[in-house]
Amino acid sequence: MASTEPFFNLYTHGFARVAVAVPVCRVADPAFNAQQTIALHHQAAAQGAVLVAFPELGLSAYSCDDLFHQRALLDGCERALAAVVAASIGIHAVAVVGLPLQVDHALFNVAAVVLDGRLLGVVPKTFLPNYGEFYEARQFAPATQAISTEVTLCGQTVPFGAQMLFDAGTGLPGLKFHIEICEDVWVPIPPSSFAALAGATVLVNLSASNVTIGKADYRHALVAQQSARCVAAYLYSSAGYGESTTDLAWDGHALICENGAMLAESERFRMDAQLLTADVDLERLSRERMRQTSYAASAARHRSEVAAFRTVPVGLKRPDDAELPLRRWVDRFPYVPSDPRSLDARCEEVYNIQVQALAKRLQSSGVKQLVIGVSGGLDSTHALLVCAKTMDRLGLPRTHIRAYTMPGYATSGRTLDQALRLMDALGCTAQTIDIRPSCQQMLDDIDHPFADGEPQYDITFENVQAGERTSHLFRLANHHNAMVVGTGDLSELALGWCTYGVGDHMSHYNVNASVPKTLIKHLVRWVAGKGEFGPDCSQALIDVVNTEISPELVPGNADGQPQQSSESSVGPYELQDFHLYYTLRFGFAPSKVAFLALHTWGDAQTGRWPEGIGAHNAYPLPEIKRHLRTFLWRFFKTSQFKRSCVPNAPKVGSGGSLSPRGDWRAPSDAEATVWLGDLERVPD
């Protein structure tokens, strides 16, 4: 992002607003259809869109049948296109419109590309359906039968052919689109597949697509899958109200997908016009293609098909408004599904991944007992639940879980009580070990001021306690021929909020290492809601979820309440997990991460969030910038050396892990300069 670009404009951050129009039409009335097209084209441009797709044969209507061979209709469609071209002068948004066009004594079903008074190219349909209710081969010729590679239309000579890519150029880097027409995407290898390999990031389909029972669901899956396989955005239009219902019906089903995700979908069976818009993330598509190295390998394998495409420069200008907010759903909790229908299924899957991974490690190690430290806090609670479920899955008694709570100088009565209740409810072999005597000995040995009664609560004081707990756990594992289960989570590893070589960092196997804090919080609540471990356990779990996250290594206040807060030190986990996801999963620049965070967290609107997955706070931009700076410094500069030696752990989600053997390999002595520098482009 150049520093002169407006931060609050979505185009600055690699997005492009696209649209699909579903106009009302009249059969064989090109003048009327042109008026509808022009109105929606202007409306799309006014909303900041740079590309709008119209239905197949939209200037004539799709359902003209043998009227397509009438000269009056064909001439009327050319006049209608000329009107659309003339009306586009001064409009900096591409319109892709459909019409019948005679070229070299053959009639083609084509898409015409229009921008600012120019006709940029004409694309004929490749595959003509001639089965069921379709008889297109009766009227039209396929693209493969075209002789000419240029056509003169509306007083302009422009490229003609199916294998074209339209490149927006430097004004909108990353926007390169390809056009196919209806049936083209229904065949085993659509033309857009090769176009994507040739560089197209946006695939446009001018469709008519009549409706029959169940077809909308199939259409939905088809478009989503094509966008996913091509790692592209896919715009799909459909004919709406006004098409002939002599033998068919029409539902105006328009879709915009991006890499398998549905961004926008029209309301079916409307009797008026619709304009569907969505903001596609061009940078995200490019980065996904770069990360997925098999994508380039596939392009190389199909080198001849890729080389057949010619590029048409578009010279498209982007809207340069000082503010053009994003119109796109961005999850506040990217690791936690916001859709309640899929949330339980996701939790079940995460839980099963962790349980199966631990079961395999137990069996392969030849031991049958687990050792775990239980603090009464969030992470150790979830790890204990995974241990209990693993024992059940393996048919072993839960008494094989040797759970230890080890109160120190700062352990609160609340967390100690929660730990004891959990261990009892789950039927573990539970024991309480007061670590203060062994800590006192260590403090004496190193001549720490606290040993002489001075209340010096420095990092040494804190880590003596953390180290003593870890030492106990590993020696207990030796003593009982058991395995130490780690409890530290992905968020703590990202921020380096763990003590090197101790319990939240080191273990024999860590079930939580790729599970972020926001997801762990919901997993614990989800297990409580299932009630499989009994009501006493469920109540204890709810109490844990409602406990402030604290390391409890510095003595609390006079009332015994903890004075330490993890989030006061490293920032709110709900926001830092957001930063982590877009940094780790997509490699976005900090300025873009901040833009997304502002869009998502900039106000207090909670949207459709399931109960319990977040506090739904609002963060103004200066606060987002401050917490993001903390994240960047800790993630890129100070914490990699801790991540370089973490124990084995299962990868849980596609959002990434920080295992040095898996998703993340980085030097331990890199600088954070470029990330912090980019952050300074964010306004204060």
CATH label of the domain that carries residue 22: 3.60.110.10
Q: Minimum mean pLDDT among 314-323, 472-481, 580-589: which range?
A: 314-323
Q: Which amino acid is at 493?
A: L
Provide Rg for the chain, Cα atoms.
31
What percentage of residues in the chain have a pLDDT greater than 70?
Answer: 97
What are the beta bridge partners of residue 276? 20
Closest C-alpha to 154, from 88, 224, 80, 225:
80
* 551 contacts 566 by C-beta, under 8 angstroms: yes
Looking at the fold, whether 309 and 368 belong to one and the same domain comes out as no
Task: Judge if 390 and 428 occupy the same domain.
Answer: yes
CB-CB neighbours of 459 under 10 Å: 9
**Does residue 371 fall inside a structural domain?**
yes
Q: 500: annotated binding-site residue? A: yes
- Do residue 220 and residue 101 come from a single domain? yes
85 and 196 inside one domain: yes
406 pLDDT above the threshold of 70? yes
| Percentage, residues of the chain above pLDDT 90 | 89
Among candidate residues 182, 347, 428, 537, the one labeled active-site is 182
CATH number of the domain where residue 554 is located: 3.40.50.620
Which residues on adjacent β-strands are paired with residue 440?
Answer: none
Instruction: Please name the residue ranges forming H helices in 326-432.
Output: 340-365, 378-394, 413-426
For residue 292, what are the domain limits? Answer: 16-313
Tell whether the model's pLDDT for residue 139 goes beyond 50.
yes
Range with the lowest mean pLDDT among 144-153, 606-615, 660-669? 606-615
pLDDT exceeds 60 at position 413: yes
Over 50: is that where the pLDDT of 547 sits?
yes
pLDDT surpassing 90 at residue 58? yes
In Å, how far from its chain's centre is CA 67? Answer: 47
Asked whether the predicted pLDDT for residue 70 surpasses 60, the reply is yes
Which residue among 245, 278, 313 closes a domain? 313
Annotation marks residue 176 as catalytic: no
Does 240 fall in a domain? yes
Residue ending a domain, choose from 278, 313, 348: 313
How many domains is the chain built from?
2
357 and 273 housed in the same domain: no
Per the annotation, does 376 bind a ligand?
A: yes
Would you say 458 is a known binding-site residue? no
Spatial CA neighbour of 192 closest among 243, 221, 218, 226: 226
Residues 103 and 157 in one domain: yes
Single pTM value for the model:
0.94
Q: Is residue 667 part of a domain?
A: yes
Q: Quick one: DSSP state of residue 548?
A: P
User: Model confidence at 145, in pLDDT bands (50, 70, 90)?
Assistant: very high
Beta-bridge mates of residue 278: 18
Higher pLDDT, 13 or 3: 13
Query: Is residue 323 among the annotated active site residues?
Result: no
Say if CB 681 and CB 591 are below 8 A apart: yes
Last residue of a domain, one of 270, 295, 313: 313
Residues 306 and 352 in one domain: no
Catalytic residue among 56, 183, 462, 574: 56
Residues 565, 422 within the same domain: yes
Positions of E strands within 176-296: 176-181, 202-206, 233-236, 255-258, 261-265, 274-281
Residue 13 in this model has a pLDDT that exceeds 50? yes
pLDDT above 80 (res 1): no
Residue 325 domain-assigned (yes or no) = no
Asked if residue 441 has pLDDT above 90, the reply is yes
Q: Is 188 exposed, middle or buried (0-12, 13-18, 19+ CB in 10 A)?
A: exposed
Residue 607 is predicted with a pLDDT of 43
Does the annotation list 210 as a binding residue? Answer: no
358: tokens are 């631990």
Per the annotation, does 373 bind a ligand? yes
The reply to whether 672 and 569 lie within a common domain is yes
CA 267 from chain centre, in angstroms, equals 24
pLDDT in tens, 197-213: 999 999 999 999 999 99
Q: Check whether residue 347 and residue 279 sit in a common domain.
A: no
pLDDT per residue over 649-672, tens digit each?
Answer: 999 988 789 998 888 999 999 999
Strand 15-22 and strand 274-281: the pairing is antiparallel
Domain assignment of residue 3, yes or no: no
Considering the domain architecture, whether residues 438 and 573 belong to the same structural domain is answered as yes
Provide the strand spans (E) within 395-472. 401-405, 429-432
Reference 110, options 51, 72, 159, 67; nearest CA is 159
State the catalytic residue, choosing from 25, 78, 125, 521. Answer: 125
Sheet holding 274-281, edge to edge: 118-124, 106-115, 94-103, 51-53, 15-22, 274-281
Query: Do 350 and 471 fall into the same domain?
Result: yes
Domain assignment present for 331: no
pLDDT (0 to 100) of residue 68: 97
In a domain, 157, yes or no: yes
How far separated are the first and last CA of the chain, in Å rounded? 17
- Consult the annotation and say whether 379 binds a ligand: yes
**Per-residue pLDDT, 296:** 95
48 belongs to an annotated ligand binding site: no
Write the burial class of residue 2 (CB in 10 Å: 0-12 exposed, 13-18 middle, 19+ buried): exposed
131 is in an annotated binding site: yes
φ and ψ of 291, to 5 deg: -70, -40
| 613-635 pLDDT, tens digit each | 444 688 999 999 999 999 999 99
Give the whole-angstrom CA distance, residue 446 versus residue 505.
Answer: 23
- Angular region, 105: left φ>0, alpha ψ -120 to 50, beta rest: left
What average pLDDT score do residues 573-602 get? 96
Q: Is residue 1 part of a domain?
A: no
pLDDT at 279 exceeding the cut of 90: yes
pLDDT of 341 reads 74
Question: Once rounded to an integer, what is the mean pLDDT over residues 584-590?
Answer: 96
Measure the CA–CA gap between 93 and 248, rounded to whole angstroms.
33
Please tell me the predicted confidence (pLDDT) of residue 563.
80
What does the pLDDT look like over 220-270, one tens digit per residue?
Answer: 999 999 999 999 999 999 999 999 999 999 999 999 999 999 999 999 999
> How high does pLDDT run on average in the chain?
94
Residue 521 is among the residues annotated as catalytic for this protein: no
